[in-house]
Every structure is written in C-alpha cells, then in structure tokens.
A and B are shown apart, each in its own frame.
Chain A
C-alpha cells in the first residue's frame, strides 16, 4: 500500500517513529515497554502480512483509558438489546443503573406478536451490606419471583447478571436460575460476568455468547418461510442501523431469522440455527456464537460489513454468491443499482469539502475498522486508529489466531466445547462447494483485520490512553476524532470535532445505503463547521488597543 501522504507532517519532521517515541517518553520504564508493543507503525507486506500488535492485555492502572468491564460487555451486547427478556442485575444498584438505556439499541416492540419490551426498565437486586455479609442468593431468588409475579404480561425469559461482589461472596447465580427455571416454567439463566473478569468488555462478550448459546440457541426448531435465510451477527441497531439493513434485506428477498443483537428477540435467538448463513458484522463481540453455530449446526459464516455504501454492495454480492441463485443475484444487483445513485449524488456533492481531511478512530472492537470505509468514500485519510477492546485477530486477521498466547486473564473465560448436534447438524454446503466458493472469492471464517487495509506508516494503537489521545491531537491536529462519550468533550475542548461512534451522537442510522448518506452529511457538518473558529474573542485576536473611543 502507498505510504501515508502527508507532506506537512514530513516537513515538520513528524515521523510516526518520532511520535511514538514522544508518546512513550513520559511513561515510567515498565509502562513504556508495555505500551511500545501496543503502539505499532503499520507496514503491509506483499502477502498482506502486518506487524504484530499486543492487544487484549491488562490496562495499566492509573493510565486512564476508554475501556469498561466484563459486566458491561455481557449485559450490553447480547441481551441488553433484546427486548423480550427481563435482565436482572444481581449486585449493588450502580451497575444496573448505568446500563439502563444508555446504549442506543433501538427496538420495534410492536413488530413482535407478543409486544414484549423490557428494555426501558432497569431491574436490580440492589444488594445491601446485609447480602454482602450473609449472601444474596435468597434475595435474587425473591427478585426473580417478583419480576415474574408482577410484570404484565409475564416475561417468558429472565437473565441474571452477576456484578463484582457477587463473585467474591460466592453467590451461585446459576443454581438459583436453574431452580427458578424449574419453578416458574420459563427460561431463566445467569451470567458470571463479574466486572473484574478479563481485561475489558470483550470478556463479557464471550461470556454472553456462551450463555446465549447454552441456554437459548436451538430451542425452537420452527422452520420459517423463506428461500434465503440469514442471521445477522454483531449488529446492535444503534440509531436504527438494523432497521436500514432489514429494509435492504427485504428488498433483496433475504429472510432475516435472527439478529445478534439489535431489534432482537430471545425467540429469534432460539430459532437462529434454522438459517442457512451467518453474516458477521462486529467480529470481536460475536465470532464465538458464529463458530459454535457452525460446529453444532453446520451453519457457515462469512465476514461482511454494512458500514459504507460500497461495503454494503460488496457484502450483498457475497451473500448472493453464497446462495448462488441467479434470481437472487439479479435482485441484489437491481437493489444496488437502485440504491447507489442517491448515495453517489450525496457523496459527489459533499466530497469536495471533505477530501483530504484527516481522521483518527479509537473505538470498540470493529468500528475503528469499519468506519474507515465511510471516511474513504469521503476522500478522508485515517492517520491513526485502534480498538478499545479488540484482540490481535481484529488487528492482524484471523490467521494469527494459532499464535495468540492465552494469558491468565483469558484462560479464566470459559471456552465451550461444542460438537455436531446428532440430529440437527446439517452442513449447508459440501466441502467441495465451500472450496469452490472460497476459490471464487468468498472466504469462509475469514477476517483479515484492520491493519492490512490501512496505509503504511499509520499508527495503530491498542487501548489508547488519555495521555496518548492528547499527544496525538496536539501533534497531528486531525480534522476529526472518533471515540466514545468519555472522550467526546475532552477532544472538543482541544477545538477539534469529535464523532461518537458508539452512540453516533444520537444520530444515525449510518449502516447501509441510507446510513452512508446520513454519515456523509454529519461529517460534512462537523469538519466544515464555522463554530470551531469562535474560540477567540475579538480582544484576544487583537489584544493591542490601537485606538480608543473619544466619547466624553
């Protein structure tokens, strides 16, 4: 790939190597040594090989970063966005409170026949000192009973999420859930997702994936109508992304069985093994479910990306190639042909104003990668990027999976042993067909990661610290910076527009064709806004008093 074109930076002698050294200079030796392995200057080899980056390792205490905890990843990612389950947080009140409606997972409850929607509620056992001392199992049991008794209509599933002290005092949420499941006759299951587990939200994703696979997936064998049945994995319906994708799928004649998890239902998860293809959006948070679905039910997965119009078109073509049905292929092409003109029109109009602007993205476990496509469509360059909770495979590609060392923090997160289901295992394609499709450019179980797609000399930084954020901004002065709510106003105090890519700053959708247009418009508004010129008052711009009024 071409080296990063930036004459200004070169002229200032601001090479990425120098920037890296400057960022590390202030750290104590041990910290600097560790961070040096997490700050990598990209270099893509001829075979697409990239340098190794250290990722998914402990955050250094005191360094100030972006990450949250295991509980946040577990409750937030799979079950949080699913409307027909009562999610009870077992712990003191805070964890339940902070995760109450603060992720923007939209849902259309009226689309379900039962109309269940518990997402607007926060359920908690609000543990008190008494329970910390004497145990909280009794209170949890009672809380489950009360949720079942009083909600109208009654829930059909209840999930329980353990917080830090629960693990320490030894409450067994799983046995309580098992007992209550038998007693109430509805699905009740727990997650040991104490906040201290793992090194970030990522551990919680894995635990959630395991739980949903164990307790829900495959429990409803109803075969739904539809010729081309898909599941969408790792799409969380922020700002209505999933609605836009549902619109496109319907137009293409694809039947969406289940989404993990946006505008989603437990019923959908239960039935997802009846689909014929899994599409993976956010590889980091959901690849475990995809792998397990393949092993147990023979459902293959492909990596797709619906962020940006060109990525959406490419992904739709991949789906059509998988099913290999001429009618579907024609329909997909017709949809792309119909949708693209509006996207291109918007882009052409905006492009002259965004071309050449420079971006930094530090967010999540896939968004820092996916959104680069959208910025590319606007002619914008990514200077530096990194994940909040990604692993090496999200940076370097899944081919590094065998070489990833399993450390103490990851070893404690259970790997489910999954075998083909004796009755339900049904490989959707023969090995020959899979091989042919791979040869024709439809790779299965493959994700190349973020780095091979990024120019040489860009800085890839895992688990970015606050200090590094400030340094990057100070040295590079990017035109826009993308991260989350905690970084939002810090970056903007620097006088640089900041785009939240978790919450979209309460805008969106940004996925699919219509989403791309929304994104172009938002970025145009942000990087070309006059408001960033208001920071100095007239008397600060011209502090010298040249002439005074002679009013007497």
Chain B
C-alpha cells in the first residue's frame, strides 16, 4: 500500500494539512506572467521558491519555464530585499532583455514587508529599466489563498498596470480564461473567432507552454498577450471572465478602471458550461452562432446519449481548484454521474461552497464537500464508501492504486501524462475529449473486471 497509514475513521484536524489539494500563490502568479508576450516572471524571495515553481511548471508542461529570482540571503531577509531586486532588474534587462519583468512576492518578502512599487520606482529612477520596457508586480503572499489566488492577482496586475481607456469602445471582447491549460485558452479563443469576434485574451499561455521543437531555443516564444493588447483591453466593448475565483478580480478591476462591463461565467466545461459561454458571446457581440459550432454541440450531445448508460449513477470523487470543481460537477450532474466527494485546498468562500452544494442538491446519496480540505480526507471518505471514478491531479494516483479505482487526470499538476497542453477539456470539443477520457477509464476497468464469460466486444 502506498498510503498505508491513512485510517478509515475521520478525526477532526485543526492544524495539520496532509496531502494538500492546493499549492501556494507565487506559482500561479508565475504561470499567469508566462502568458504575457516577452515576459520574464520574477520571484522576489529566496531562490528555492522560483526553483520549486519552475520545476513544478516544467514537470506539468514538459516545456521550458523561465523565471528569475531575487535570491534572498539571510542578510536580505534582515535588511529587506531592495538591493537584490534592483540588482536583479538591472541584470535581467542587460543579459536577457525581456519586454517586461513581472515581479511576484513570496511569504518571505511579504513577511519582511518589502514595498515593491517603491523599489520599481527606484529602479526606474536609477535608469535600470530601459525605455519601452516594463516592470510590473503582484503581491502574492504564500500564506493567503492558493495558487489560484496568485494567478488571479497577477492577472489583475496586468489590468492595473496597462489597461487604459481610449475614450471610445472597440468591437473587441476581452477574454480572461482562468487558471486553465494553454490548450483550453486556444479553444476558448477559437470558439470566439468561429463566431467572428475579435478578442484580446489575457493571460495567454498558448504557444508559450505548448511550443514546437525547432532546434532553436527562444526564451520568449511567440505566444502571450502583448502589452499593446493589454492597453487596448481598456477600450474593449466588454469582458468575459471564465472561472470566478481566477478571473473575476481582473474583470472587475477593468470595469472599475476603464468602465469595461464584464460577465463572469463558469469555466466553459461540458454542454451547459459551453452553452453559457457561446450564448453570452452571441449576445454581447450581437452575432449569430455559426452552424459549425452548433454541429460541435450536436456531436457532444450525441456522444452523451450514445454512452449514457455507462455514465448513469456512477460515483465520482474530485479534488481540484474551485472553478474547475464547479464546472466539472455541473458537467457530471448533467450526464447523470454523481460527484459524491469534493475537496479543494483553496479557501473559496461560503458563497462558492453554497453554489457547489446547489449543483448536487438532487443527488440520490449523501455528498461530502470540504473546503479547504485535503486529499487525505478525500481518501478517508473513499475508504468508508468507495467511488467508481477519481478526477484530479497526478497525486490522486496513489489513492487510485491503493483503492483500485480508475483515475482521470485533470487540473494542476499533471506530472505523469501529456495531452493537457495540447487537447482542451473546455468547449464542446473539449467536452468530447473529457467524456472520452472518462469512458476510457470506466470501460477499461469494465473490460479488466470482465470474466471470460461476460466479456463484451461491443459496448
């Protein structure tokens, strides 16, 4: 047994987190910053932080993940990290020449209380920021929220630093894709462009973290939202923010700063989630939905109906980020699966928990939700009453193996499979892929469990 010390009986814990279903803010900020074209994320902390974040993102994407650090020593921890950051800014522009440095803080620099805007001003005053180059920042203390909060805060910083209203609205729509994969970002944009809508998406990690192998390494790949685009986002006709936790801060900031109205939706996962997204796009832009998109929708409905018998009544345990949990739970309920256990380490608030409970209110059995909760607790619930399927990140495979339950990998991090960077789980096509993954897991298990007598060729 891999998790041999996990007891079946749940006991109250108030201080110890075991097998967390979240990680810390800075990694989310680093991920978001990689979605700006020509950006070098910078971790203002000791060098372990950026080493860990770069490693985690590299393992997840199997792509270069570049970032810099202030490399705090004991001295800088006592006297503050200003000298380190000033030196870093100078070195980065001299040696690596990015268009922009996106600084995020850490628990270390936040506890010390370094004032990043003041340090950036000083760097500018000292001529360390070349003309036409930028340094932005986000405060991302690791002891508040989670990686989702960090993503959200850095995305908001893009608005705070760049968005400006030109006085007249363009026909462009802003898309904030949430803490999603590069493939999902591509899909979200593809749907809008099928509808003939011009978009600015930020952040945008497609073609940054799913780039080609050409034999030539480029520290700053083609992808990412550009600074002119971020500026123009303040003149767009509206913003569609996907995933309330990851995206609403930026959308609301843009509304407050530049009077760009916003709609905050669930992540467009599954039939209804994507329907909502497409329908909002249609109404905001005043366009018709093209037949090609309606066809994609029809194909998803077709597969749901073809394979409904295998979904119906199956119990699922989920661990992941709040926006993903909500969207996946809705998708699962829509195809008559039952998300019976759900945990996220991210403190998403009472309102969110209520929304999640609402999704499963008609479930035919007890549904357990814990937030913040951890995978240790999820495992204990499973030991008490098992499920048919697990959905979550790679760490769930330890539970999957011990309890012999099929697993569909989704979320962050996925260290042991590929696909998430290239094939979306959002939109209708993404919905199809997600269903395919669920079916593969369930039906492979059915084949494995079949006896010589009841093995089925056709399913």
Residues of A bordering B, CB below 8 Å? 26-28, 31, 58-72, 88, 91-102, 109, 115-118, 120-129, 131-132, 139-143, 145-147, 149-153, 155, 163-165, 167-169, 194-200, 408-409, 412, 465-467, 470, 484-486, 488-495, 534-536
Pairwise interchain contact A69-B46, C-beta atoms closer than 8 A = yes
What are 20 A-B contacts defined by CB distance under 8 Å?
A59-B47, A62-B42, A63-B91, A66-B51, A92-B24, A94-B25, A97-B20, A98-B56, A101-B395, A117-B4, A122-B19, A167-B77, A195-B46, A195-B47, A195-B72, A198-B74, A484-B55, A485-B55, A486-B65, A490-B64
Q: Does chain A have a CB within 8 A of B425? A: no
Known A-B contacts A64-B66, A196-B77, A485-B58; A72 and B91 likewise in contact (beta carbons under 8 Å): no
| A67-B47, A94-B52 known, 5 other contacts, Cβ within 8 Å | A97-B22, A147-B16, A155-B5, A164-B106, A168-B112
Known A-B contacts A58-B73, A120-B398, A164-B108; A486 and B91 likewise in contact (beta carbons under 8 Å): no
Q: Does chain A have a CB within 8 A of B54? A: yes
Which one, B139-147, B310-318, B358-366, is touching chain A?
Answer: B139-147
B393 to chain A, nearest CB (A): 11
CA distance A466 to B112 in the complex (A): 29
Q: Does chain A have a CB within 8 A of B3? A: yes
Pairwise interchain contact A168-B77, C-beta atoms closer than 8 A = yes
Pairwise interchain contact A196-B46, C-beta atoms closer than 8 A = yes
Query: Which single member of B52, B67, B345, B398 contacts A64 (CB below 8 Å)?
Result: B67
Chain B 89-110 near chain A by CB (<8 Å), digits 1 or 0: 1111011100000000011100
Pairwise interchain contact B24-A97, C-beta atoms closer than 8 A = yes
B8 to chain A, nearest CB (A): 9
CA distance A115 to B53 in the complex (A): 33
A-B contact count (CB 8 A): 269
Pairwise interchain contact A152-B91, C-beta atoms closer than 8 A = no
Residues of B within 8 A of A409 (CB): 73-74
CA distance A259 to B56 in the complex (A): 28
Residues of B within 8 A of A129 (CB): 141, 143-144
Pairwise interchain contact B20-A93, C-beta atoms closer than 8 A = yes
Pairwise interchain contact A196-B7, C-beta atoms closer than 8 A = no
Pairwise interchain contact B96-A94, C-beta atoms closer than 8 A = no
Pairwise interchain contact B15-A61, C-beta atoms closer than 8 A = no
Q: Does chain A have a CB within 8 A of B85? A: yes
Residues of B within 8 A of A489 (CB): 58, 62-64
Q: Does chain A have a CB within 8 A of B32? A: no
Pairwise interchain contact A164-B398, C-beta atoms closer than 8 A = no
Residues of A within 8 A of B42 (CB): 62
Query: Which single member of A63, A91, A466 contacts B66 (CB below 8 Å)?
Result: A466
Residues of B within 8 A of A68 (CB): 47-48, 51-52
Query: Which single member of A64, A94, A412 contacts B142 (CB below 8 Å)?
Result: A94
Q: Does chain A have a CB within 8 A of B13? A: yes
Residues of A within 8 A of B5 (CB): 116-118, 121, 151-153, 155
Pairwise interchain contact B58-A486, C-beta atoms closer than 8 A = yes
Residues of A within 8 A of B70 (CB): 61-62
Chain B 132-165 near chain A by CB (<8 Å), digits 1 or 0: 0000000001111010000000000000000000
Residues of A within 8 A of B142 (CB): 91-94
Pairwise interchain contact B46-A492, C-beta atoms closer than 8 A = no
Pairwise interchain contact A60-B143, C-beta atoms closer than 8 A = no
Chain A residue nearest in CB terms to B44: A61
Pairwise interchain contact A97-B55, C-beta atoms closer than 8 A = no
Query: Which single member of A27, A95, A467, A535 contacts B48 (CB below 8 Å)?
Result: A95
Pairwise interchain contact A93-B73, C-beta atoms closer than 8 A = no
Chain B residue nearest in CB terms to A532: B215
Chain A residue nearest in CB terms to B76: A196
Pairwise interchain contact B58-A121, C-beta atoms closer than 8 A = no
Pairwise interchain contact B58-A100, C-beta atoms closer than 8 A = no
Pairwise interchain contact A62-B62, C-beta atoms closer than 8 A = no
Pairwise interchain contact A88-B16, C-beta atoms closer than 8 A = yes
Residues of B within 8 A of A31 (CB): 91
A386 to chain B, nearest CB (A): 17
Pairwise interchain contact B7-A150, C-beta atoms closer than 8 A = yes
Pairwise interchain contact B73-A72, C-beta atoms closer than 8 A = no
**Which A-B residue pairs are the 10 nearest by beta carbons?**
A69-B48, A94-B24, A62-B88, A495-B215, A62-B91, A142-B15, A92-B142, A98-B52, A61-B88, A164-B108
CA distance A203 to B438 in the complex (A): 46
Pairwise interchain contact B146-A93, C-beta atoms closer than 8 A = yes
Known A-B contacts A131-B143, A485-B55; A123 and B18 likewise in contact (beta carbons under 8 Å): yes
Q: Does chain A have a CB within 8 A of B59? A: yes
A415 to chain B, nearest CB (A): 16
Query: Which single member of A94, A196, A466, A491 contacts B73 (CB below 8 Å)?
Result: A196
CA distance A101 to B47 in the complex (A): 20
Known A-B contacts A28-B91, A97-B20, A150-B11; A61 and B3 likewise in contact (beta carbons under 8 Å): no
Pairwise interchain contact A71-B58, C-beta atoms closer than 8 A = no
Residues of A within 8 A of B88 (CB): 61-62
